[in-house]
Amino acid sequence: MIAAKFVSSILIKSTAVKLAVSLALFASVAGAKTGDLPFEDYLRKQEDVSVRKLLANISPRDGAAGAVIASPSRQDPDYYFHWVRDAGLVMDPVVTMYSQARGADKQRLGKILSDYAGFSRQLQQTPTLTGLGEPKFHVDGRAFNGPWGRPQNDGPALRALSLTRWAKQLLRENQRPYVTSKLYKAEIPAKTVIKADLEYVAHHWRERGFDLWEEVSGRHFYTRAMQRAALEEGSDLARALGDGAAAGFYLAQAREIRRAMDDHWDARRGRIVQTLDRDGGAEYKESGLDVATVLAAIHGGWEDGPFSALDERVLATAGQLEAAFHREYPINRRGLPATAIGRYPEDRYYGGNPWVLTIAAYAELNYRLATTLAKRPPAALSPRQVDYLRSAIGSRPELAGVFPKSGRMQLARGSAAHGAIVKGLKERGDEFLRRIRVHSHPDGSLDEQIRRDNGYMTSARDLTWSYASFLTAVWSRPSP
């Protein structure tokens, strides 16, 4: 499912639906308020709002073409900057829209992506305090040299990841000359945006840096996951463009990162620990629990295998996080759908609240798990996988007695239990999106956070990442 309305209608082809979409960048929200709609209609309406709000935050009038503002908020907090990380995450859904668009709409989306690639290359060449690991810039492309957590090495990986996915789409459209001149050219020193980022990631992934939340310095699971994903995708692109030596080097580094990610698994506590080798930052983050581990499984794009949504370590960590947030937030004890999810249990920023993007991440986690189990169910579920499923969907009447009290569980494809589990996971994902609906503004606007005590939205308004996270979640929703 892709955005339901754009100014000029085009036809989107997908495996399940054909939707008319448009590129209304600054149109006002029309029709019913999102809270007044049946759930399926709400999803389409919120999708439309999210597309338009997201695109409105790209190429601001007082900034450079291709810049992505984290939020229009300029004070309390001031998010009117281009964060390399946020922009990479935001552009991924734009790539998805581009890949399914036609005609004038495809040209407009292509222009947005081309502007972003050009602006990104400009930033790579801008003198900064930390080179390509610089976390954020002014919207006109000037370096931000104020105090900040530096370097942040997830940004180059995420930028490479989104642009590599676009480059692969362009190659399918026979646009190789553009790809090799602007995105990836097999030359050292690198003079194209993807090549420069991949070289940086491949040579710097062992170094410490600041985490996803810009608070702790060390070696981080999320950063490593994004570096691994970027190098895996980049290896494919390099090979397709005849850069075989680089392809082999990128893949070798990705495999080393994959092995290093295993170090984050704490078997004694049964959780993935976000940060190892801490050497500075917020000392009060003690549990090691962090929703960044769930985001890593989603943003990496792995359908199955190590650290995908099906990985028992990811599910065990997700279960512990949800239980901690249920205890932590008063708003979770009011009988509302699902659980409002925050960043980590010890969070103090803005009082330590649930975030829209982290709630959406749990919707996407359950949707991805449902899709994987529907397509490729393992012959047996491990005890940790069973524990997650029991906690997430075990209270549903149709699943009464399905899950063993402990141990492994056989899962026969096409069985009643198999179908009920897949259905239950989809409905569980829906509950998290219903939770976002409860707290969103009447017109569907989404801020950064939700106050832990009363459920009202707070912090940065119209957070671009909030809209991106809703879109990737709803686009991961299994078809009926």
Q: Give the pLDDT confidence score for residue 35 in this predicted structure.
A: 63
Query: Which stretches in the chain have pLDDT values below 50?
Result: 1-32
The b/e string for 359-388 (b: 16+ C-beta within 10 A; e otherwise) is bbbbbbbbbbbbbbbbeebeeebbebbbbb
Check if the beta carbon of residue 170 is closer than 8 Å to that of residue 240. no
User: pTM higher than 0.85, yes or no?
Assistant: yes
Asked if residue 422 lies in contact with residue 479, where contact means CB atoms within 8 angstroms, the answer is no
Fold (topology level) of 284-480: Glycosyltransferase (1.50.10)
CA angle 286, 287, 290 (to 5 degrees): 110
Is-same-fold flag (62-271; 284-480)? yes
Q: What whole-number distance in Å separates Cα of residue 37 and Cα of residue 76?
A: 32
User: Under CATH, which architecture does the 62-271 domain have?
Assistant: Alpha/alpha barrel (1.50)
For the residues of 24-75, what is the DSSP string, one character each?
A: -SSPPP-SS-GGGS-HHHHHHHHHHHHHHHHHHTBS-TTS-TT-B-S-S-BS
Q: Residue 18's pLDDT is what?
A: 28
SS3 159: helix
Confidence (pLDDT) at 28? 30
- Where would I find the H helices in 300-355? 312-328
**In the chain, what are the domain boundaries?**
62-271, 284-480
pLDDT of residue 7: 29
Beta strand pairing call for 265-266 and 136-137: unpaired
Q: What residues are labeled active site?
A: 211, 214
Q: Distance between CA atoms of 32 and 13, rounded to whole angstroms?
A: 27
Rounded Cα gap, residues 323 and 318, in angstroms: 9
Amino acid 284: pLDDT = 87
Segment 93-128, tens digit of pLDDT: 999 999 999 999 999 999 999 999 999 999 999 999
**284-318 pLDDT tens trace:** 888 899 999 999 999 998 988 999 999 999 999 99
